[in-house]
Homo-oligomer: A and B are copies of this chain.
Amino acid sequence: MDIVNGGVCAAKGFTANGVHCGIRRNRTKKDLALIVSEVPATTSAVYTTNLVKGAPIKLNQKHLENHTAQAIICNSGNANTCNANGMEIAEEMAELVHKYTKIKKEDVVVASTGVIGQPLDITPIADNMEKLVKGLGDRSKDAAHAIMTTDTELKEIALSFNIGGKTCHIGGIAKGSGMIHPNMATMLVFITSDVSISPEMLDKALKSDIKETFNMLSIDGDTSTNDMVVVMANGLAGNETITGEGEAFNEFAKALNTVNIWLCRKIAADGEGASKLLECNVSGADSLDIAKKAAKSVICSSLLKAAMFGADANWGRVLCAIGYCGADIDVSKIAVSFKSSKGEILVCANGAGVDFSEEKAKEILLENEIEINVRLGCGSFSSTAWGCDLTYDYVKINGDYRT
C-alpha cells in the first residue's frame, strides 16, 4: 500500500473541481465542490444520527436507495437545514448537476455545510454551475478547499494498493472542525475508489470501519445535523468484483481503514481552535465496549481537554472521565501515561498517583500530538479515540460564528 497524489481524483475515472460561487462573502474562499465519476459508481453512505437532519441528507437517503451515484455536489457556508424550502433547494442542486453533466439527477449526492436555519439561495450555485463543470479535472485540492468551513487545513489523501494483480486506488477529502462527536454525524467525508465491489460488501466495509474510526472521534460533543461519509467505487481498476469476504475484501478494507484513520487524525488535529491532537489508547479492557466507552469519555472531557491545552499532567481528570463513562471498571487497577515525541511518562498506577517529574511531563505535553495511554489491567480488549484540546480559540470561533 503506497501513499499517492491526487486525493479523490487518484482513482481512475474520477474528476473534481471547486469554485467560489458567492454563498460566502470572502471571494478567496471556494464554496462549491463537485466530484464526478466517468461511470456510475457503487456507493455507500452513513449519515448523522441527529433527529434534526439537513435537507440534503434526506435527499441522499432517497437517491442512494439503489446504492448508485455518479456525482457529489457540496456547498459550504450554509447547511440548508431547518429551512422551509430546504428539500426544494437540495433537489435543485441535483437538477443543476444533471443539466450540465447529463448525469441522472438520482445519481447525484448533495451535501451542504455551514450555518443552520438560513435559507440557501440557489442563484449563486446556478450561476456558477457551468464554470464548475467545465473546470472538472485533476482538482481534488480545489474540491477539498471548497468544502472547508472553520477548517484551517485542507484534508486530502490517496493510496494505491493491489488486488489480484490489479492496481487499485482509494482517495478521500474531508471537512469538519466543530460539531463533531461519536456516533457518526460529525463531518463530510467523500471517498472515491476505482475498485470493483458489490454494494453489499462496500456497505459492510464502510459500516464496520466507521465504528473504529469516525465514531471514535470527538471535537466538542455536538453531533451535527448535516454530515456524512460517502464512498463511491466505480470499478474501473478492473479487479475481479469483490462479492464476499476474503483476501481482496481485506485488502480493500485495510486501505479504507488507512484513509479513514488518516482523515480522523487530521480532523481531530484541526478541531475548532485546537492546538493539539489527542489520542487516547485504552487497553486491558474486559470487552471492546468498555474500551470504547473509556476512550471516548476521556477524549470528550472538557476538563481534560483544557488541561492538555495547558500542558498540565492532570491525570486525575483522566480517572474522573473513566469513572463516569458508564462502564463497570475497577478503578484501582488503572495505569495512565502521557506520551509524545519527547517520550512517555507514567503518572498513575493502581488507580493512584505515582511520583513523576513535572518537568518531564511538561516537556512531553508541550508537543502537539499527545497520546493518553490507559491500561485497565483487566482483559485483552483495546480501543483508540481521537480528539483535541479545548482552547481560547474554540470559544472565540463559536462565540461569534454567524456574524
Q: Which residues of A are interface residues toward B (Cβ below 8 A)? A: 49-53, 79, 81-84, 115-119, 178-179, 181, 185, 220-225, 300-303, 306-307, 309-310, 312, 314-317, 319-324, 328-329, 331, 348, 351-353, 358, 390-392, 394-403
Contacts and interface: CB of A to CB of B under 8 A. Distances in A.
Given A312-B401, A324-B185, A331 B52 contact: yes
A331 B83 contact: no
A82 B320 CA distance: 10
Nearest to A323: B52
A83 B303 contact: no
A317 B116 contact: yes
Contacts of A300: 221
A312 B403 contact: yes
B398 A307 contact: yes
Contact of A352 (B82, B314, B315): B82
16 contacts: A50-B320, A52-B319, A52-B351, A79-B316, A84-B352, A116-B317, A117-B319, A117-B352, A221-B300, A222-B303, A306-B395, A306-B397, A306-B399, A314-B401, A358-B403, A394-B395
A45 B209 CA distance: 45
A220 B306 CA distance: 11
Nearest to A225: B320
A370 to B, nearest CB: 14
A50 B321 CA distance: 8
A319 B316 CA distance: 34
Given A117-B319, A320-B116, A391-B395, A220 B302 contact: yes
Contacts of A185: 324
A52 B351 CA distance: 9
A312 B353 contact: no
A147 B118 CA distance: 47
Contacts of A399: 306-307, 309-310, 312
B179 A303 contact: yes
Nearest to A389: B399
A143 to B, nearest CB: 25
Contacts of A315: 117
A225 B351 CA distance: 13
B301 A222 contact: yes
A307 B159 CA distance: 39
Contact of A50 (B83, B303, B324, B395): B324
B179 A309 contact: no
Contacts of A395: 306, 309, 390-392, 394-395
- Top 5 A-B pairs ranked by shortest CB distance? A116-B316, A310-B399, A52-B323, A306-B398, A117-B353
A378 to B, nearest CB: 13
A83 B307 contact: no
B319 A116 contact: yes
